[in-house]
Structure 1
């Protein structure tokens, strides 16, 4: 028996050595299953936490809070635009500006006094309660009105889960905000189409830009010096060209393809030849705004060093790397704005889908668009004259915002149904890694800089009745 017991003690060791490869594989499978189980459980916990944070945040498409300033005699209602509070998802500088234009338009249509405050964004500096990086790029808009007014309405950033309805939307069935609008008409190409840019879109955006988006003196001096030195007195063809992988992925998301560089060169050649024919004796210049040095080299080889113009800017991988550093990212935003403003000073604009191109197109209502991926109907629409004057278009926007706020909510808009639908979408999205949880956490991290901090922290969002009272309708 003693020998038998000794054999039994030794037997597992022999088996382990003999079948160690099988045991290693089995152990690995068990470990992977355990990791998967704990990972799934962890994600359940994360999703529950995210639901806690997003419960109120996502129940309105774009949260609006109202803060009443006790004792103020001023009758103004300040409209504080804080879209940068949620810009942790890598939104481009031009798209962030387009969001601001959209929100300024809505504030004005409601009869409120707008001001824009950027305390934290990809193109800002270190965040804080006493900084406003909007003024790094643009002149301040009604600075300090939020403290002087009897009440302030704070507009938080759009949630990444739902898309709010812009006042610029005019076509039934279209979705999106101004930064989502496309040069192409997507109505019959995708299920949920983004509204195409129209002459009316351009005229109303320019109306707001003219009154509220004057470049800061520093930026204005840079742009004017470059223009007077290299572009004044010439026929200028602006070209915006994005070739980096991030833009390719963005276009794929919208079920669109980036045109080949050769196609763009052909169009620039055609525009150049037409411009020479129509403007005998004038020099032609090509101002190129691109995200790669390689594209600039190709254009200079094609059209000549003396004809192709570009600003000194950070491009390529260096540009992506610098976005992670707050101080240097401000320089990137300034360079993008400089490109936009110089493109807007051109006579022609050769471009594809891009927020930079859209912003330049809105800044100058006389510039002629050459949309590279467009068809003849796109070209006619983009270069048409608006059917209404800008003042009339703004009155139409006022009528839309008023009618929207007066319409009583139907059963589909009940708070219970919206809450349940929201929770389901959030839970499903987080568990399937389809939705960026960091966007929601970004909002809650940055909301402490909001002028309506207490209201947002308590999720006290304004209802239509609150806004009706402030609008006196």
Structure 2
């Protein structure tokens, strides 16, 4: 892909419009759509331009706010390759410009779905789509996705200056002089994504407590930064850990409907800014306790050195001893099946049939 003035001069050789895949998704799902379409552009040699307007093919953009402009990507981030969609629109209506509508490429809706959920080369924040059956923790798989996402972010995705200033002011005011444990607790509509049931299970605060208690024991002066979409979860954390708990004053819900889904309440821009800053602050913590969710995973994309435990995976963990027992039980059963097959072949009473007759 090209950069800077090169794009301005010959972007007509391969512009690509990055669009929202589907509207009813959280902020970092939108960013994931961008990352995966950027990877597509790199493979195909297109120059990308992000266009997140007021509407997608299946609904309204949850973060659109006309007071901040027509392209929600531009609210928070710089152009990914030095050109905005406004630049493209100006060129398309200029009769003296060589850029034509046919020079602007885009994927169809079905192609976007495949790229996001069916292409193994894409970035996946947790196992869904083509990886839906990957239930047990696969550290190599997560590492590969994190490295790929981090590389794309470093190259193309850069915060607007006002957000950089706001982030640094929060870090200085809240974190300075302390070890900070980051907590991401996902409530509300978690469980509606197309992933394994175990990974979509809501992990309540009480299941975080043993891990938090241990960290506090080892770091008595630490603070605890909590990012959550559920009012009750923050209340429980404050009740148990008191003044240690840090949080931003952001939109949260008491119900199973996420704040971003409540389109008629509050500013779309503000909702996006809040979850973005929550995630960036998680990335600046010393340790992260998270669940299977894009917010916690993006904290690691922003800071690949951040140590973390994912409680969705942790809670379904199987001990080494149990794995060995399960393995040998399987082997024993396979041997018995082979023995049974041999006996049947030679017209003899099989061991399995004999056992069955004895128990009936």
- With normalisation by structure 2, the TM-score equals 0.68
Secondary structure at 1:219 match in 2:
helix
The equivalent of 2:197 in structure 1 is 255
Equivalent residues of 2:184, 2:296 under 8 A apart = yes
Closer, same or farther: CA 312–270 of 1 in aligned 2, 3 Å: same
1:182 aligns with 2:133: no
1:239 aligns with 2:183: yes
Closer, same or farther: CA 150–200 of 1 in aligned 2, 3 Å: farther
Secondary structure at 1:109 match in 2:
helix
Distance, in Å, in 1 between the alignment partners of 2:293 and 2:311 is: 12
Secondary structure at 2:208 match in 1:
helix
Equivalent residues of 2:204, 2:233 under 8 A apart = no
For structure 1, the 5+ residue unaligned runs are: 1-71, 171-176, 277-282, 380-473
- Note the C-alpha offset of 1:115: 2.1
The equivalent of 2:22 in structure 1 is 87
Equivalent residues of 1:350, 1:372 under 8 A apart = yes
Secondary structure at 1:240 match in 2:
strand
**Looking at both structures, which has the greater relative contact order when contacts are Cα pairs under 8 Å and sequence separation is at least 6?**
1
1:286 aligns with 2:229: no
The CA RMSD over aligned residues, in Å, is: 3.8
Q: How many residues align?
A: 287
- With normalisation by structure 1, the TM-score equals 0.53
Closer, same or farther: CA 270–348 of 1 in aligned 2, 3 Å: same
The equivalent of 1:102 in structure 2 is 36
Equivalent residues of 1:82, 1:157 under 8 A apart = no
Distance, in Å, in 2 between the alignment partners of 1:321 and 1:202 is: 25
The equivalent of 1:350 in structure 2 is 289
Could you report, residue by residue, the CA deviation over 1:56-97 in whole angstroms, capped at 9, with x for unpaired residues?
Answer: xxxxxxxxxxxxxxxx9626644434322x533x11111111
Equivalent residues of 1:235, 1:346 under 8 A apart = yes
Could you report, residue by residue, the CA deviation over 1:198-223 in whole angstroms, capped at 9, with x for unpaired residues?
Answer: 21221121111112221112222221
- Note the C-alpha offset of 1:285: 1.3
- Note the C-alpha offset of 1:106: 1.9
- Note the C-alpha offset of 1:286: 0.9
Could you report, residue by residue, the CA deviation over 1:356-400 in whole angstroms, capped at 9, with x for unpaired residues?
Answer: 111111110110011112249989xxxxxxxxxxxxxxxxxxxxx
Which of 128, 131, 137 in structure 1 is aligned with 2:76? 137
1:155 aligns with 2:106: yes
The equivalent of 1:41 in structure 2 is none
Which of 239, 257, 261 in structure 2 is aligned with 1:301? 239
